Amino acid sequence: MQELIFVSLGVAAAVLMAYFHRAHRRDMRLRRRAMFDEVLANLKDPDLRQEGIGFPVLDGRYRDHFVRIEPIEEHVGFRKVPSMWLRISVMNELPYRGVFDYLIRPENIEFYSPIGRLPHHLEVPAEWPQQAWLRTDDPETMPPLERVAPHMRFFDDPRAKELMITRRGVRLVYQVHQAERPYYLVLRSVTFEDLNVPWEEAHALLDRAIAIAEDLGQENEDE
């Protein structure tokens, strides 16, 4: 009889654990899915995609440009408080075959960036932030540095991380959130108090990326 009671208690505990696990996953999925609520309402033809409990990816149209916004959770740095990055992409055909990639404060853990695979390491212009990498796959066909220079004001913001320009458009990487420091340093738990992406922040990044794309795209009009 006593063994039967222990077995019943074990089964009940397992059922409760499974229930709370499913509830936690459901809440996490809904919380992550809601992070773009403000942004989604301001895009045309929005398409929000989410796999399981992963972070969603948002596509849509803004100012007649196809745009994509992707959150990136980064927590691979040793004793480094995890960050939530936004990767903002504006699709716009540009007249340059070579890739321009500028990454500030590199730590060799930027798994979300292709900069480490670009073969040509260029000297950073003296007037740009110097703690950075500047790389390309083709120095002869990349965007001229003098054309990019006016847009380097993006890096006046300490949360700006990367500017990448390809023939398909412009990509910015920007720190939108940082994990709760006590939870991570003591408990090693990655907890973001607020995942919401404010529209004011998102549209400022989109406007900046579009300004770069449209400026560089004027080369097409001159030919």
Domains in the chain: boundaries: 36-222
Which pLDDT belongs to residue 161? Answer: 97
Which residues, listed in sequence order, are joined to residue 160 by a DSSP beta bridge? 174
pLDDT tens-digit profile, the chain (223 residues): 656 655 555 555 555 565 444 655 566 776 888 899 999 999 999 999 998 888 999 999 999 999 999 999 886 654 567 888 999 999 999 999 999 999 999 988 899 999 999 999 999 999 999 999 999 999 999 999 999 999 999 999 999 999 999 999 999 999 998 865 554 444 444 566 778 999 999 999 999 999 999 999 985 444 4
Count of CB atoms situated within 10 Å of the CB of 123: 7
Task: Classify residue 45 by burial, with Cβ atoms within 10 Å: 0-12, 13-18, 19+.
Answer: exposed
Contact 211, 204 (CB under 8 A): no
Contact 190, 179 (CB under 8 A): yes
What are the distances in angstroms from CA 38 to CA 33, 34, 195, 200? Answer: 12, 9, 12, 9
CA 126 to chain centre: 27
Count of CB atoms situated within 10 Å of the CB of 38: 16
Which pLDDT belongs to residue 53? Answer: 84
